[in-house]
């Protein structure tokens, strides 16, 4: 399935970006306090390259010894490259991932042989455990732990402090063994640095890391945690994908890479970590100690209020001899999470269709914080079908439980075309009949429009053509140019206006 080389480390991906003209090295001194974010945002909005700041300065003005890389996934093309493919192969990868997730029995030997890529991908999920790893070239434990030496950014003027924004946080549930990699969770959760050896873990209740922490806390025990900074692109993207809870992100990265993931035992906690990572922060999250996290600028375009989250005591920092610090910012789209979300939207479509077959296409407008609004086109066959699709989507994945508005249109329209949506709303929707409101449903507590934190309403809008018992009127016929007339017009214009094209 891969058409690009296997990127087993962040730096191998950066080498590829450099070879393809997608990496810009910045020699100027740029501060981790606000300035890197300002430059990053300006470059991302232009669809620009990966940025490597070779001489970042810390908040106090002193030089940092570790370079900062941002805008890694600042374009859809680089997100696809991180998955090992080009943009035109996304649909193939989406179908492959859907089949890998819910395989059907082979129909004879020929069909079985055709599935060798799927078998190879499954075998690639088996991790390879090694004893010596690049991430352990330097090991700092106990009093040598000093998070202030890392170029952790302070992104926005109203931020409470330094915030780690691109970590892959590795956990396992209580009762599991260190060797049970298939039970690990690897998620992207921001972490606020509050001292030289302590961070606050922002774990939302519905995420896998929070569930693992609760399993340890119920026993009165601290949770072993490894914060991976600068993982390989497949691991980074797997940690961001909405995978089923039964699928380990670390092993799924092996399927994306087409190569077994290389893991090594951490030094001070019983966890396996990516061997090729740039930096790993090891430690324990307290079962009871909380600290106010925030405020920080968030993906909604607002600062979220300070709220209590668990505290992690860092017991070790391990890193390569010359490490790279990977970072990003979150804010009102466009930002990297929104761009990643655009690609993941296409990857998720076959899986969504497997659950809700009548869906033809789905669009999550990036400007709506990626998932707050969904527009769906369906093959409509019976009355009430649009509402059934709405309810099925809200209950399908945890992410869709935060989608506050779903607009359903017919298959003759493009759900990613606002003109088509506006036309459908104006001509196929009656507000008194076609709007469904649901109260007191789960909502991202950062949504300030919700009446109560964590609870809000949902709106479903049926903008499909009404059929059978849905209407008592004869529905109008959509106007279309006859194919023969369209061909005649194209031929005539190609002769009259050759420079404009047909």
pLDDT per residue as tens digits for the range 164-176 = 999 999 999 999 9
Per-residue DSSP letter, 33: B
Q: Is 232 a catalytic residue?
A: no
Q: What's the whole-number mean pLDDT along residues 176-184? A: 94
Burial readout 87-107 (b: 16 or more C-beta within 10 A, e: otherwise)? eebbeebbbbbbbbeeeeeee
Cβ atoms of residues 320 and 229 within 8 Å: no
Q: Which residues contact 357 (CB under 8 A, 6 or more apart)?
A: none
Q: What percent of the chain has pLDDT over 90?
A: 75
pLDDT per residue as tens digits for the range 317-338 = 999 999 999 999 999 999 999 9
> Max Cα separation, the chain?
80
Instruction: Kindly state the tokens that stand for 112.
Output: 């079985």
What's residue 344's pLDDT? 87
What's residue 112's pLDDT? 47
Q: H or E segment at 24? A: strand 23-31
pLDDT per residue as tens digits for the range 398-457 = 778 889 999 999 999 999 999 999 999 999 999 999 999 999 998 887 788 989 888 999
Lowest mean pLDDT among 15-24, 210-219, 443-452: 443-452
Q: H or E segment at 76? A: helix 76-82
Res 298 pLDDT > 50: yes
Q: What's the whole-number mean pLDDT along residues 258-270? A: 94
* 3-state SS, one letter per residue, for 119-148: HHHHHCCCCEEECCCHHHCEEEEHHHCCHH
For tokens 């669009």, what's the residue?
A: 363
If one counts every other C-beta atom within 10 angstroms of the C-beta of residue 404, the result is 22
Catalytic residue (choose from 159, 197, 232, 298): 298
pTM of the model: 0.88
What's residue 17's pLDDT? 98
Q: What's the whole-number mean pLDDT along residues 13-36? A: 98
- Measuring CA to CA, which residue among 228, 267, 226, 58 is closest to residue 142? 267
Res 191 pLDDT > 90: yes
Question: Which residues sit opposite 316 in a β-bridge?
Answer: 141, 282
| Cα–Cα dist 344/347, whole Å | 5
pLDDT per residue as tens digits for the range 90-145 = 988 888 777 766 555 455 555 544 555 655 666 567 899 999 999 999 999 999 99
* Domains of the chain, start order: 10-326 (2.30.110.10), 356-470 (3.40.1670.10)
Query: How many residues does this entry show for the chain?
Result: 502
Q: Which residues contact 436 (CB under 8 A, 6 or more apart)?
A: 387, 390, 459, 460, 461, 462
User: Between these two residues, 93 and 339, which has the higher pLDDT value?
Assistant: 339
Q: Which residues contact 462 (CB under 8 A, 6 or more apart)?
A: 386, 387, 408, 429, 434, 435, 436
Instruction: Kindly state the tokens that stand for 19.
Output: 């070879």
Cβ atoms of residues 169 and 316 within 8 Å: no
If one counts every other C-beta atom within 10 angstroms of the C-beta of residue 61, the result is 9
What's residue 453's pLDDT? 84
């Amino acid at each position: 399935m891969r058409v690009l080389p296997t990127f087993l480390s962040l730096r191998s991906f950066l080498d590829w970006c450099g070879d393809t003209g997608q990496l810009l090295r910045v020699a100027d001194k740029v501060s981790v306090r606000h300035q890197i974010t300002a430059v990053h945002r300006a470059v991302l909005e232009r669809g620009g390259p990966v940025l490597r700041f070779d001489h970042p300065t810390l908040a106090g003005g002193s030089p940092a010894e570790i370079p900062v890389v941002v805008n890694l996934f600042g374009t859809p093309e680089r997100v696809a490259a991180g998955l090992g493919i080009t943009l035109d192969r996304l649909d193939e990868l989406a179908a492959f991932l859907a089949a890998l997730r819910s395989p059907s029995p082979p129909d004879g030997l020929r069909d079985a042989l055709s599935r060798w890529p799927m078998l190879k991908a499954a075998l690639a999920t088996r991790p390879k455990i090694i004893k010596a790893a690049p991430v352990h070239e330097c090991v700092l434990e106990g009093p040598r732990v000093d998070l202030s030496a890392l170029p952790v950014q302070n992104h926005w003027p109203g931020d409470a402090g330094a915030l780690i924004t691109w970590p892959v946080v590795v956990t396992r549930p209580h009762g599991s063994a260190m060797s049970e990699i298939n039970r690990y969770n690897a998620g992207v959760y921001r972490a606020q640095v509050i001292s030289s050896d302590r961070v606050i873990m922002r774990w939302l209740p519905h995420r896998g890391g929070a569930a693992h922490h609760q399993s340890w806390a119920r026993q009165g025990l601290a949770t072993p945690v490894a914060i991976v900074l600068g993982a390989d692109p497949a691991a980074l993207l797997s940690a961001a994908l909405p995978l089923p809870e039964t699928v380990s992100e670390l092993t799924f990265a092996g399927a994306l890479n087409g190569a077994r993931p290389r893991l090594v035992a951490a030094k001070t906690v019983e966890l396996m970590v990516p061997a090729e990572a740039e930096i790993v922060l090891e430690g324990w999250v307290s079962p009871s100690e909380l600290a106010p996290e925030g405020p920080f600028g968030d993906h909604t375009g607002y600062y979220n209020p300070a709220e209590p989250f668990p505290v992690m005591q860092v017991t070790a920092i391990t890193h390569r001899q010359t490490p790279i610090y990977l970072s990003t910012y979150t804010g009102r789209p466009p930002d990297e999470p929104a761009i990643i979300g655009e690609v993941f939207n296409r990857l998720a479509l076959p899986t969504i269709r497997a659950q809700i077959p009548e869906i033809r296409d789905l669009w999550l407008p990036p400007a709506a914080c990626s998932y707050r609004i969904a527009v769906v086109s369906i093959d409509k066959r019976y009355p009430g079908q649009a509402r059934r699709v709405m309810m099925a989507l809200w209950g399908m994945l945890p992410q869709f439980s935060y989608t506050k508005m779903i607009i359903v249109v017919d298959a003759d329209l493009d759900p990613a075309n606002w003109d088509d949506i506006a036309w459908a709303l104006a001509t196929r929707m009656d507000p008194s009949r076609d709007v469904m409101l649901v109260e007191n449903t789960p909502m991202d507590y950062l949504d300030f429009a919700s009446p109560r934190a964590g609870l809000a309403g949902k709106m479903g809008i049926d903008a499909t053509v009404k059929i059978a018992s849905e209407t008592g009127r004869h529905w109008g016929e959509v106007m279309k140019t006859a194919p023969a007339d369209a061909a005649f017009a194209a031929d005539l214009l190609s002769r009259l206006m050759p420079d404009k094209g047909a």
